[in-house]
Amino acid sequence: MEISVELFMPEMLPMVHEWWASEKFPLLPLEILPKTGIVVLVDDVAACAGWLYKSDSTLGYIEWIVANPLVRREKRDNALNRLISELLYEAKKAKINLLFTSVKHPVLLKRLERMGFIASDSGMTNMVWKGN
């Protein structure tokens, strides 16, 4: 199994939209996604993607992690581990020393805990304000 990493490019958005649609997740427009997006390929097939938001402080945010539903579970698991590792690497390069993320899926929660994340709050309601 060969794993490689690419930066997310705008022309990859339709592919990611298909993955989000398979999860019944809203299809986010390109302008919402930060510049630091990572796509992990397994055997030259895109397997997952995720994004790192950087702020004007040492706080960062990783979000919108999604996997290709057509990639076998074992390959997808390896790709997701690599994705999170790459997002952590990008955060360290940017001198981010606290990363925040919101997690709904129990499997992703456990994966993040295994990779050093600590659960802080639970029972939260995520609030969104949408401007014009």
CATH number at 71 reads 3.40.630.30
Alpha-carbon distance values, 116 to 52, 84, 123 (Å):
17, 11, 21
**Residue 21 falls inside a structural domain:** yes
**Residue 120 falls inside a structural domain:** no
What's the mean per-residue pLDDT of the chain? 94
Which residue in 92, 65, 89, 88 sits closest to 77, CA to CA? 65
How much is the pTM? 0.91
Q: What is the pLDDT of residue 53?
A: 97
**Residue 131 falls inside a structural domain:** no
**Residue 80 falls inside a structural domain:** yes
**Residue 39 falls inside a structural domain:** yes
Q: What is the pLDDT of residue 125?
A: 81
Q: Among 62-76, 93-107, 108-122, name the most confident range.
A: 62-76
pLDDT in tens, 17-34: 999 999 999 999 999 999
**Which residue's structure tokens are 């796509």?**
39
Q: What is the pLDDT of residue 131?
A: 79
**Residue 11 falls inside a structural domain:** yes
Maximum distance among all Cα pairs of the chain, rounded to whole angstroms: 45
Domain that residue 49 falls in = 3-114
Please, what sign has the CA dihedral across residues 109, 110, 112, 113? positive
